[in-house]
A and B are shown apart, each in its own frame.
Chain A
């Protein structure tokens, strides 16, 4: 029992990652509102940042800036990778929202079921 709890506490970052991942994916599938779907998608992408950053952070280590006082540094590579991933995520979210604006103009609604009701062949 104690061991399980300890295990959980030691890896809580990963449990948060998995929680974010699953809830993001769930929102994408379960919600009919196009903007809410995008928010879920964003959440799903965000979980990946945590997945990469968790193993990169080393306990009692500093930012990787050279200084005689410190000898252990965090791994900078995953941080840099996630900067790129954040940019990709922002671009995807922005493009998705732009598409939703155009869909609203074309169909007059952003609810998936109402769109399919107006345009049954689109499904």
Chain B
């Protein structure tokens, strides 16, 4: 991959990763025809993974973070983009998911959104991608807030473009919750700025140490930690701050759901890791506030309660949305345990869950394209009419359970080792127990689509078109592939975890 040559653009790759989709979004708004807007968006989204992979290759090769000074203004004065192992890895995940969905999007969007709004959809899609990539790449706390709001505002529009009127209500509810979350984050950043006088993540980290020696400042820093913790948790849908998520995912257009499920919460999780580990340092968080304990309790609650909600759900998209909340629980659990194995598991699960959940939502998108519904009653027996689509769904579903030989197993394995390393044997049991619940909810939908008599709408259904099957099977194949070849996920995650924890000791 490092053979890819960018010529004179090479030093500017970090900024290009944000500028290309931003200007792409601008251009797309001028294209009134849906197919043209789609073609341009496709071209833009396919450039981004190439840039992200080049950045990752360079970081892994040199072992040093890439620092990009915007306008050549050095760190304390200007805004700096910083790409370290973790950032490059998450950038790769987000940009690849963003690209692989696009071939699928053409027919799905044409069926679900009216022609004049189609190009708006693609513009918002690129804008959302800009925001998510920006959150990950920036080294500036306020800049991260701006990107957070760019991606959120675009997301509200994406959700509101859904066909059902509840999509509007879901978008409104998410707007309220999301804005509260982002505002809480910015309050926390403001307090940190008052204490340290800087907004650069690295500078804040170095100046916090001396600052907290003063008890007055110490209280301000802990307050800031509380605000940021709650604010970012709202964005990443940590239980019990997840209530906006099920409806938002259920009523958004199919492609938007697949995209958001794979990427949006992941960028927020990245921001959480960055702030907790790189800025505050887990030492401060552990000594002063019971953050790991709170996180462990909330994560386990998410793993069980959200999974239970998924079992009793009748709408397949909502079922997967609840499952997403449970999976966020796994990722946050690994962060809370904060040792090398558990963090490796969490980071690997960011990629693995993105791949599996996007595949599952794309399969539902294909079903919705053919029969116009994802309710269990309408989906009965659809497996016999759309075997390739539901076959991919089954493969990704098996991965989601954490079956050995799939991607889901790898991340849960490392999470389990991490729990043992931390001395919490009961948590290993809980990881297995909540995986068993996921067997029930995936098993239930499998029973519906394969073994029940076909419903009225399923009788006339046809297999999904090839443009949908290829992205779908690419992701389903990746679910299995990442279960055997762990070089791309675990090795990079382990390096990133080492760097994150190394900064603390």
Residues of chain A touching chain B, judged by Cβ–Cβ distance below 8 Å, are: 21, 25, 28, 34, 37-38, 41, 44-45, 48, 51-52, 55, 78, 81, 84-85, 88, 91-92, 95-96, 99-100, 102-103, 106-107, 115, 119, 121-122
Contacts of B160 in A (CB 8 A): 99, 102
4 A-B pairs closest in CB distance: A106-B165, A99-B172, A88-B149, A122-B166
Q: Is the CB of B153 within 8 A of A48?
A: no
Across the two chains, which residue of chain A brings its CB closest to B187?
A48
Q: Measured between alpha carbons, how far is A96 from B187 in the docked complex, in Å?
A: 21
What B residues does A84 contact at CB under 8 A?
A: 142, 146
Q: Closest A-chain residue to B156, C-beta based?
A: A95
B251 to chain A: closest CB distance in Å?
Answer: 9
- B148-196: which residues lie under 8 A (CB-CB) from chain A? 149, 153, 156-157, 160, 165-166, 168-169, 171-172, 175-176, 179-180, 183, 186-187, 190-191, 193-194
**Given A52-B193, A107-B165, 7 extra CB contacts under 8 A:** A28-B180, A44-B183, A48-B187, A96-B172, A99-B171, A119-B169, A122-B166
A102-B168 in contact (CB<8A): yes
B247 interface contact, C-beta 8 A: yes
A92 neighbours in B (Cβ, 8 Å):
149, 153, 175, 179
CB distance from A111 to the nearest CB of B (A): 12
Question: Do A85 and B186 touch (CB < 8 A)?
Answer: yes
Which A residues are CB-close (under 8 A) to B165? 103, 106-107, 119
Which residues from chain B contact A107 at a C-beta distance below 8 Å? 165, 169
Tell me if A103 and B169 are in contact (CB < 8 A).
yes
| Complex contact B183–A99 (CB within 8 A) | no
Q: Which residue of A lies closest to B243 (CB)?
A: A123
Residues of A within 8 A of B149 (CB): 88, 91-92
A96–B175 CB distance below 8 A: yes
Report the separation of the CA atoms of residues A96 and B175 in the bound assembly, to the nearest whole angstrom.
7
Q: Which residues of A contact B187 (CB under 8 A)?
A: 21, 48, 51
Closest Cβ of chain B to A110, distance in Å, is 10
Q: With A48-B183, A99-B168, A102-B168 known to touch, is A37 a contact of B176 (CB < 8 Å)?
A: yes
Q: State which of A28, A34, A119 has its C-beta within 8 Å of the C-beta of B166.
A: A119
Q: Are A34 and B172 in contact (CB under 8 A)?
A: yes
A106 to B247, CA, bound (A): 17
On whether A48 and B190 interact (CB within 8 A), knowing A28-B176, A95-B153, A107-B165, the answer reads: yes
Q: A25-B180, A44-B183, A48-B187 are in contact. Are A78 and B193 (CB under 8 A)?
A: yes
- Of chain B, the residue at the smallest CB distance from A99 is B172
Q: Which of B179-220 contact A (CB under 8 A)?
A: 179-180, 183, 186-187, 190-191, 193-194
Q: Tell me if B175 and A95 are in contact (CB < 8 A).
A: yes
Residues of B within 8 A of A100 (CB): 172
Q: How far is the CB of B284 from chain A (nearest CB, A)?
A: 22
Q: List 25 A-B contacts (CB under 8 A).
A: A25-B180, A34-B172, A44-B183, A48-B190, A51-B190, A52-B193, A85-B186, A88-B146, A91-B149, A91-B153, A92-B175, A95-B153, A96-B176, A99-B156, A100-B172, A102-B160, A102-B168, A103-B169, A115-B169, A119-B165, A119-B166, A121-B166, A122-B166, A122-B169, A122-B247
> Within the assembled complex, what's the spacing in Å between the Cα atoms of A91 and B154?
11
User: Which listed residue (A34, A55, A102, A121) contacts B194, Cβ 8 A?
Assistant: A55
Interface residue range, chain B: 20 to 34
B166: A residues at CB distance < 8 A: 119, 121-122
Chain B residue nearest in CB terms to A96: B175
What mask results when residues 210 to 252 of chain B are scored 1 for a CB within 8 Å of chain A, else 0? 0000000000000000000000000000000000000100000
Q: Across the interface, which residues of A come within 8 angstroms of B153, CB to CB? A: 91-92, 95
Taking a contact as CB atoms under 8 Å apart, the answer to whether B146 and A45 are in contact is no
Shortest Cβ gap from B250 to chain A (Å): 10
Cβ proximity bits B281-302 to A, threshold 8 Å, 1 near / 0 not: 0000000000000000000000
- Do the beta carbons of B183 and A45 come within 8 Å of each other? yes
- Tell me the complex Cα distance, A41–B176, Å: 7
Residue with the highest number of chain B CB atoms closer than 10 Å, among A92, A96, A100, A119? A92
List, in ascending order, chain B residues with CB within 8 A of A103's CB.
165, 168-169, 172
A41 x B180 contact (CB < 8 A): yes
Residues in chain B near residue A102, CB distance under 8 A: 160, 168
A97 to chain B, nearest CB (A): 10
Chain A residues near B157: list those with CB within 8 A.
95
Min CB gap B103→A, angstroms:
29
CB–CB B172/A41 < 8 A: no
Chain A residues in 8 Å Cβ range of B193: 52, 78
Do B180 and A44 touch (CB < 8 A)? yes
The residue in chain B whose Cβ has the minimal distance to the Cβ of A81 is B142
| Cα of A15 to Cα of B354 in the assembled complex, Å | 44
Bound Cα distance A45, B212 (Å): 28
Measured CA separation A85–B143 after assembly (Å): 11
Tell me if B179 and A106 are in contact (CB < 8 A): no
Least CB separation from A37: chain B residue: B176
Q: Which residues of B contact A41 (CB under 8 A)?
A: 176, 179-180
Q: Once the chains bind, are A45 and B168 in contact (CB under 8 Å)?
A: no
Residue among B156, B171, B183, B191 with max Cβ neighbours from chain A (10 Å):
B183
Inter-chain contacts of B172 with A (CB < 8 A): 34, 96, 99-100, 103
- Kindly list chain B residues whose C-beta atoms are within 8 Å of the C-beta of A21: 187
Residues of B within 8 A of A51 (CB): 187, 190-191
Residues of A within 8 A of B171 (CB): 99
Between B157, B168, B191, the greatest number of chain A beta carbons within 10 A of the residue's beta carbon is seen for: B168
Query: Nearest chain A CB to B141's CB is how many angstroms away?
Result: 10
Q: Would you call B180 and A99 a contact (CB within 8 A)?
A: no
Contacts of B183 in A (CB 8 A): 44-45, 48
B residues less than 8 Å from A91 (CB atoms): 149, 153
Known contacts: A81-B142, A88-B149, A99-B160. The answer to whether A52 contacts B169 by CB under 8 A is no
